Chains A and B, each alone.
Chain A
Amino acid sequence: MNYLPWVTAAWLFAVGIYGVMTSRHYVHLIGCLTVMQSATYIALLSVGYRFGSVAPIFYARSDSTPAVDPVLQAMVLTDIVVGATVTALLLALTLQVHKKRGTVNPERLRPLRP
């Protein structure tokens, strides 16, 4: 258990990079990037987790209850925005490049080499 979070993160990162390198379709490649990103979510949240503690919300309970680290959760929130917006940008680029080049195969998209 002690190593599982880090192994999971490393695994997702490795799988994602494998997908990026072997992808035949840019949309698929972007999906692989989102997997790599989810590895970072897991790494960050696992650092902030603590056994036997509650979420850092003290609405119904006193703030002396041991809680997990809110800072890392805030960081992951930012990270998720980054992921979503960059994904949108990449998808838009893919659409446009398909209109210009007629393909979305990463192997065949090479700038300045018509």
Chain B
Amino acid sequence: MIALLVPMFLLVAATGAGVVLAREPRRQALAIAVNGVALSLLFVALRAPDVAYSEIAVGTALVPLMFLSVLVSLKTDRPKS
């Protein structure tokens, strides 16, 4: 069990740091999705399938999608002066 948990925790720690260090917002959206996958794997390892489900659906699909669409609007948006 430990052999499975340790790398999971480390993976989550690494991907989380990746989200912060990805200064370029588009890459960060991707990093968030990756972090979401890592988190849900960890949740499975921690025997929390329910939580893993929702993390997959929310953390890897919905949230990064919102980020991307907001970035698109920010790019195409001409601020009114």
Q: Do A and B interact directly, with beta carbons closer than 8 Å?
A: yes
Q: Is the interface of A mostly helix, strand, loop or mixed?
A: helix
Contact residue range for chain A?
35 or more
> A54-B47, A99-B80 in contact; A80/B67 too (CB < 8 A)?
no
**Residues of A1-39 whose CB lies within 8 A of B:** 1, 4-5, 8, 11-12, 15-16, 18-19, 24-25, 27-28, 30-32, 34-35, 38-39
Q: At the interface, yes or no: B37 with Cβ under 8 Å from chain A?
A: no
Cα(A73)–Cα(B59), bound, Å: 16
* Interface residue B32 (Cβ < 8 Å from any Cβ of A): yes
Which single member of A16, A77, A84, A102 contacts B51 (CB below 8 Å)?
A: A77
- How many B residues are at the interface, by size bracket? 35 or more
22 examples of A-B residue contacts, CB within 8 angstroms: A4-B6, A4-B10, A8-B10, A12-B17, A15-B17, A27-B71, A31-B31, A35-B35, A38-B12, A41-B43, A42-B9, A42-B12, A67-B47, A68-B46, A68-B48, A73-B51, A77-B54, A80-B51, A80-B55, A94-B70, A99-B80, A102-B79
Please tell me if the beta carbons of A27 and B28 are within 8 angstroms of each other in the complex.
yes
The CA-CA distance from A52 to B6 in the complex, in Å, is: 15
Q: Which residues of A contact B (CB under 8 A)?
A: 1, 4-5, 8, 11-12, 15-16, 18-19, 24-25, 27-28, 30-32, 34-35, 38-39, 41-42, 45-46, 48-49, 51-57, 67-68, 73, 76-77, 80, 83-84, 87-88, 91, 94-95, 98-104
Chain B residue contacts of A102, Cβ below 8 A: 79, 81
Residue among A24, A27, A52, A83 with most chain B CB within 10 A: A27
Find chain B residues with CB under 8 A from A73 CB.
48, 50-51
